[in-house]
Amino acid sequence: MRNFVVRLAAALALAPLAGAQNFSFTVQAPLSATNIGASFEIDLPGTGIGDFEATNNPTGTRTCTSLFGTCNNTAIQFTNSLAIESVFAGSPTGGFAATIDTDTGVALISGFNVSPLGKEDGGADLTLNLLYPTFRTQQPNSLFIGGFNLPLPLGQIVVDSLALVQTADVPGALTPTAIADVYDFTALLPTSLSFGIDLLGNATQVGPLPFPLPVVGVLDLRGPEAVLTLTVDTSGKQSVPNPLGGQAFEDIPLGLPTILPPGGIANLLFDITPGDLALSFLADLDWTATGVALCEASNYCVSTPNTFSSGAQIQALGSTSVALNGFTLSAAGVPPGHAGRFALSTTQGLLPFGDGVLCLGSGSQRFPLIFADASGVSSYAVDFTNSAQPGALLTAGSTWNFQLIFRDPLGGPFTFNTSDAMTVTFCP
Is 243 found in the same domain as 314? Answer: no
Residue range 81-91: average pLDDT? 85
Last residue of a domain, one of 255, 275, 294: 294
Instruction: Give the domain range for residue 304.
Output: 5-16+296-425
- State residue 200's pLDDT score: 60
Amino acid at 34: T
Q: What is the mean pLDDT of the chain?
A: 86
Integer Cα distance of 391 and 344 in angstroms: 10
Least confident of 52-56, 84-88, 234-238: 234-238
- State residue 264's pLDDT score: 93
Last residue of a domain, one of 264, 294, 324: 294
Is 364 found in the same domain as 287? Answer: no
Is 263 found in the same domain as 177? Answer: yes
Does residue 86 have a pLDDT over 50?
A: yes
Is 245 found in the same domain as 187? Answer: yes
Does residue 21 have a pLDDT over 60?
A: yes
Is 311 found in the same domain as 271? Answer: no
Last residue of a domain, one of 279, 294, 309: 294
Integer Cα distance of 405 and 387 in angstroms: 23
Is 274 found in the same domain as 182? Answer: yes
Is 360 found in the same domain as 232? Answer: no
Is 138 found in the same domain as 252? Answer: yes
Is 256 found in the same domain as 305? Answer: no
Q: pLDDT-based confidence at 338, cuts 50/70/90?
A: very high
Does residue 367 have a pLDDT over 90?
A: yes
Is 130 found in the same domain as 37? Answer: yes
CATH at residue 315: 2.60.40.10
What's this model's pTM, rounded to 2 decimal places?
Answer: 0.56
How many structural domains is the chain composed of? 2
Does residue 136 have a pLDDT over 90?
A: yes
Give 183-207 pLDDT, tens digit per residue: 999 999 999 888 887 766 667 777 7
Does residue 12 have a pLDDT over 50?
A: no
Integer Cα distance of 118 and 29 in angstroms: 8
Is 320 found in the same domain as 279? Answer: no
Q: pLDDT-based confidence at 103, cuts 50/70/90?
A: confident
Is 272 found in the same domain as 301? Answer: no
